[in-house]
Structure 1
Amino acid sequence: MTSTPREFTASGMAVRTAAILFVFVIAFTALLSAAYLWTRPAIEASALAEKMKLLNDVLPAADYDNRLLEDTLQLPPTPELGLKEASTLYRARQGGRPAALVFEAVAADGYAGNIRLLVAIRADGTVAGVRVTQHKETPGLGDYIEPKKDKNKTQPWIGQFVGRSLANTAEKAWRVRKDGGEIEYRAGATVTPRAVTKAVHNAVRWADSRRDQLFAEGTGQ
């Protein structure tokens, strides 16, 4: 059976259409790649600035003079900190001497699940700062653990931990007042502050027992 001129024409049109689509896909992909390469430096710079802002929220920039993002350790999953995945620890130094450790911790027993924290512990064992980086606590009730959602802007709840250490705060004081400790809480929302307080206490104990080792390890180990 021989093909008719109409069949040859339809076949040619199909091939031409496929070729045009192929060229279009190649061109579109090239444009996307060019756009990504063009905007990548700005995106990376923005991410870097955001990370530094968060780090400086828990540890003032004046308290260290090294390149914080380059003086790091990769931690394996760390149950003591509530971390089931690897994480990065940052080491702050002042004049070459240990100044503080900045690392993540997780309060796994929040009212609505995990509460992720960023904690800074000075070389003398005192808390430099704590920030909640992720949570799902009840809006308007338990979310005051986050400074920007805390109605008390002059003395945010999370600031209670600053200056505390194992040396100046008794074991039983690392609890909310309802449980006999020294940490204030808001009525109607005890579970959330209790979880954060426990996680911060665990972080302080973890850092205190490993401080010298963590500062001595080679970068990236």
Structure 2
Amino acid sequence: MNQTLTKNGFMLGAFAVVTTALIAVTFYATAPRIEQQQKQKLLSVLNEVVPSRLHDNTLYADCAEVVSPLLGNLEPHLIYRARTGDKPQALVVEATAPNGYSGNIHMVIGVDTSMQVLGVRVIEHQETPGLGDKIELAISDWITQFSGKVFDEESLSSWQVKKDGGEFDQFTGATITPRAVVSAVKNALLFVENEQTSLYSAPNVCQQGEVSQHGES
């Protein structure tokens, strides 16, 4: 009996070790590929929210790192900078809505120097399929409501969903998700309005030439 238990225990232990090793090998083998895919996805989104006419620099290679509660939490977020020559033209702000229905909603907001929103895209979320996932451009054009809006602090009350007295549509049967996104965009724009000059002059933390605006590596 004891021998059988010992044998079974040894087999289970060996199986656990082998399984753990396989998972580790798979993770380390696929991690660079996943990271590259994430970079390419972000690169594509950068080019969606800032038109090419507004920059002749490589967006992916010109960014500042900031920490601010207005960007959703106290973790670092990147701010990508669009320039023509040395002239600032637009920023792409990483922001997080921490109060989505199913957790954090990560997005980027493009805004030019006159505080006109160039575009907003959600890059990662866990919202409910068929309801909250309408924040994805591939599923709904809801996120395009932000494009062309000019932000100023005197009209803050309009930066809410219509149910709360603002001008942005909510989803039928789902208000939490759009409310979280609108609030996150508003706060990110507040941050930009307050810090715009310093953001353009902050040190560049992105490596030059790692990935170009056209996706070459």
With the length of structure 1 as denominator, give the TM-score of the two structures. 0.72
SS in structure 2 at match of 1:170: helix
Indicate the SS of the match to 2:204.
coil
Contact 2:81–2:91 (CA under 8 A) maintained in structure 1? yes
- Aligned mate of 1:111, from 101, 105, 123: 101
Q: For 1:116, what is the secondary structure of its paired residue?
A: strand
- What is the alpha-carbon distance in structure 2 between the residues aligned to residue 114 and residue 56 of structure 1? 23
Q: Which has the larger Rg?
A: 1
The amino acid that maps onto 1:101 is: L
Deviation at 1:117, TM superposition (A): 0.8
The Cα of 1:92 is off from its aligned counterpart by 0.5
What is the aligned partner in structure 2 of residue 125 from structure 1?
A: 115
Provide the secondary structure at the position in 1 that maps to 2:59. Answer: coil
CA 165–53 in structure 1, closer or farther in 2 if over 3 Å, else same: same
CA gap of 1:109–1:43, structure 2 versus 1, over 3 A, is closer
Unaligned runs of 5+ in 1: 1-31, 151-155
- Alignment-mate amino acid for residue 187 of structure 2: N
**How far 1:78 moved relative to its partner?**
2.1
In structure 1, the partner of 2:49 is 58
- Answer yes or no: is 1:216 the counterpart of 2:207: no
List runs of 5+ in structure 2 lacking aligned partners.
Answer: 1-24, 207-217
Letter in 2 for 1:182: E
Measured after TM superposition, the shift of residue 99 of structure 1 is: 0.8
Identity between Structure 1 and Structure 2 (%): 40
1:69/1:183 Cα in 2 relative to 1: closer, same or farther (>3 Å)? same
Number of the residue aligned with 1:4: none
- Counterpart residue type for residue 212 of structure 1: T
Separation in 2 of the partners of 1:82 and 1:94?
30
Q: Identify if the C-alpha distance between structure 1 residues 81 and 48 changes in structure 2 by more than 3 Å, giving closer, same or farther.
A: closer
Q: How many residues align?
A: 177
Structure possessing the higher relative contact order (Cα contacts under 8 Å, 6 or more residues apart):
2
Partners in 1 of 2:107 and 2:185 — Cα distance?
A: 8
* Equivalent AA in structure 1 for residue 87 of structure 2: R
User: What do residues 41-69 of structure 1 show as CA deviations (whole Å, max 9, x unaligned)?
Assistant: x9887665433212112212232111212
Question: Counterpart amino acid of 1:179?
Answer: D
Cα 1:192–1:169 shift into 2, 3 Å: farther
TM-score scaled by structure 2? Answer: 0.73
Contact 2:96 2:184 survives alignment (8 Å): yes
Provide the rounded CA distance (Å) in 1 between the counterparts of 2:164 and 2:137: 23
Q: Report SS of the residue matched to 1:185.
A: coil
Secondary structure of 2:74 counterpart: coil
Q: 1:50 to 1:114 in 2, by over 3 A?
A: closer
